[in-house]
Amino acid sequence: MIDTHCHLLAGVDDGPRTDAESLRLARRLVEDGVTTVVCTPHFSAQFPTPCVVALDRHARLRRELDALGVELETIVAAEVSVPAALETPADRLRRRAIGGRFLLVELVRETSALSALTVCARLFDFGLVPIIAHPERCRAVQADLTLLDEARREGAWVQVVAPSLAGSWGGGVWKTSWALVESGRADLLGSDAHRATASNPQLAAVAALVEERCGPARREELTETAPRRLLDSQ
């Protein structure tokens, strides 16, 4: 599997606090069947992670993974808040995009429908492609499942995350996340893993649930085919 949303880097946001914790999470992801991880540290008012810091933490992690023979490909990007995506100059956003092109933007519970659509339009104007992260947590999407349909027709991607499908964020989020998956409105499934705990990451278990409810082709599309298409089109 390819994990397109993971807080793997140490000491930059609310993910692992230390390099040792980061390494434990990397091992757990490999055990879960993950072969490639897109590291997506937050870029927001709360966590204004500088690119140079993210790259430094990634280099440190890569040295550890290579030295220990942990077979995990890693890529550095970011998870950008809506306010940051609306206010940050294009060149700074591009440095945080996957391949300089695909930008992961985080919707939260309070994100308005207008803000969600405006951020997509701004990124398209910059030649960037939005990847909308966990829209199932957004009340505007919960109220209108078709909210992002036009943005998807223009090229945006929609990404649900494993904790939502597992019910970790409550019934409303759970219901919306499965509706996005089952209606074909979700393009990617990410772990959104922050720590290596007994129940985290949940990607393999949730992928199995997707296969049970939607069939193996849908699971493969969300966790392998579409993520590979995304990375190959950088």
Per DSSP (E only), the strands in the chain are 2-6, 36-39, 42-43, 73-76, 79-81, 102-106, 129-133, 157-161, 188-190
Q: Examine the pLDDT at 108 and tell me if it is beyond 90.
A: yes
CATH number of 2-232, picked from 3.40.1050.10, 3.20.20.140, 3.90.1640.30, 3.40.50.10320: 3.20.20.140
Estimate the crossing angle of helix 19-31 against helix 51-68, to 10 degrees: 60
- Report the residue count for the chain: 234
pTM: 0.97
Q: Tell me the per-residue pLDDT of 21-46, one tens digit each, with 9 for 90 and over.
A: 999 999 999 999 999 999 999 999 99
pLDDT, position 234: 66
**Using one digit for the tens of pLDDT, what is the confidence trace for 171-202?**
999 999 999 999 999 999 999 999 998 778 89
Bridging pattern class, strands 36-39 and 73-76? parallel
Closest CA to 81 of 114, 53, 43, 117: 43
* Chain centroid, CA 98 distance in Å: 11
Nearest Cα neighbor of 5 from 154, 140, 206, 179 is 206
